Amino acid sequence: MKTIRTLTHVLLISSTFSLTAQPAMRGPLPDEQQEIIAEMAKRHQDLKRAVELNDKGYTATTTTTDKALAAKLKAHLKYMAARLDSKAMVRRWDPAFVELVEYYDQLDTKITELDDGVKVGVIGKNADAVKVAQNHARIVTGFTKEGAKAVEREHKPALTKDAAENGSKKEAEPAKPEAKK
């Protein structure tokens, strides 16, 4: 009986520790993530990104010759995947990201870590989800091309809101920047 109680205590303590060791997935991004985003935006020219759009979604490879920057890229992608998996909001002020969060459960995402970066494959489970995924790929490509300028602005969603409210979603012009309000 004493062994069972001891084992129960060990399990409770270890599960409590593992729960508290997880990053918070609600509210603003942790400082560490904000710093990673700022550094990647500042050093966007050190990132190389290739995207292949297809009829089901896209495949994107983002790499860098800088090992420390590659580690930050991997850490950021891992964090964002966990955040989206937990249904937490991302960039709630940016319409394209609000749309991404709404459609995230309709996307199958495969992340492969490379020595020098990451490879991400995203497949939409329906036509609208494919449009949302491809819009996101274009926006992230803009981050790597323009840095902070692209990170700081709002982006158009792939699907128009008024068409969605009427039940027939019409494709919007994807990933064209809007001035931040």
* pLDDT, tens digit (0-9, with 9 covering 90-100), for 103-161: 999 999 999 999 999 999 999 999 999 999 999 999 999 999 999 998 999 999 999 65
| Coil, strand or helix at 156 | coil
Which letter does DSSP use for residue 159 in this model? B
Tokens of 155: 């982006």
What is the pLDDT, as a whole number, of residue 57? 97
CA distance 33 to 116: 19
- How many CB atoms within 10 Å of residue 14? 10
Q: Which of 37-46, 86-95, 122-131 has the highest mean pLDDT?
A: 122-131
What is the pLDDT, as a whole number, of residue 168? 36
pTM: 0.74
What is the pLDDT, as a whole number, of residue 8? 39
Sign of CA dihedral 41, 44, 46, 47: positive
Query: Is residue 151 within 8 Å of residue 178, measured between CB atoms?
Result: no
Query: Is residue 93 within 8 Å of residue 102, measured between CB atoms?
Result: no
In the predicted structure, residue 94 carries a pLDDT above the cut 50: yes
- Average of pLDDT values for 90-97? 87
Number of H helices, E strands in the chain: 7, 6
Confidence class of residue 88 from pLDDT cuts 50, 70 and 90? confident
